[in-house]
A = this chain, B = another copy of it.
Amino acid sequence: MAEQPIRYEFIKECKQTGARLGKVHTPHGSFETPVFMPVGTLATVKTMSPEELKAMDAGIILSNTYHLWLRPGQDIVKEAGGLHKFMNWDRAILTDSGGFQVFSLSKFRNIEEEGVHFRNHLNGDKLFLSPEKAMEIQNALGSDIMMAFDECPPYPAEYDYMKRSVERTSRWAERCLNAHNRQDEQGLFGIVQGGEYEDLRTQSAKDLISLDFPGYAIGGLSVGEPKDVMNRVLEFTTPLLPKDKPRYLMGVGSPDALIDGAIRGVDMFDCVLPTRIARNGTVFTAEGRLNMKNAKFERDFRPIDEECDCYTCKNYTRAYIRHLIRCNETFGLRLTTYHNLHFLLHLMEQVRQAIREDRLGDFREEFFERYGYNKPNAKSF
Contact = CB atoms under 8 A, between A and B. Distances in A.
Interface of A: 42-44, 46-49, 71-72, 76, 79-81, 86-88, 298-299, 301, 315-317, 319-320, 322-324, 326-327, 329-334
A330 B331 CA distance: 10
A315 B88 contact: yes
B49 A334 contact: yes
A334 B51 CA distance: 13
A324 to B, nearest CB: 6
Contact of A76 (B79, B298, B329, B333): B298
Contact of A319 (B72, B301, B330): B72
Nearest to A322: B72
B79 A323 contact: no
A324 B44 contact: yes
A146 to B, nearest CB: 21
A49 B334 CA distance: 9
B301 A79 contact: yes
Contacts of A71: 323, 326-327
Nearest to A316: B88
This chain's copy number in the assembly: 2
Contacts of A316: 88
Taking chain A's interface residues, is the majority helix, strand, or loop, or is none over half, making it mixed? loop
A319 B326 CA distance: 33
7 contacts: A42-B329, A46-B329, A46-B331, A71-B323, A80-B320, A86-B320, A88-B316
Given A42-B327, A88-B316, A320-B87, A301 B47 contact: no
Contacts of A317: 80, 86
| 10 closest Cβ pairs, A-B complex | A72-B323, A47-B330, A44-B331, A88-B315, A42-B327, A44-B329, A86-B320, A80-B301, A330-B330, A71-B327
B76 A299 contact: yes
A249 B43 CA distance: 41
Contact of A323 (B43, B315, B333): B43
A71 B42 CA distance: 33
B46 A298 contact: no
Nearest to A315: B88
Nearest to A320: B86
Nearest to A337: B330
Given A76-B298, A301-B79, A301-B80, A323 B47 contact: no
A41 to B, nearest CB: 9
Given A42-B324, A315-B88, A49 B79 contact: no
A87 B298 CA distance: 15
Given A47-B331, A71-B323, A71-B326, 11 more contacts: A42-B323, A42-B324, A44-B332, A46-B330, A46-B331, A72-B319, A72-B326, A80-B317, A86-B317, A88-B320, A330-B334
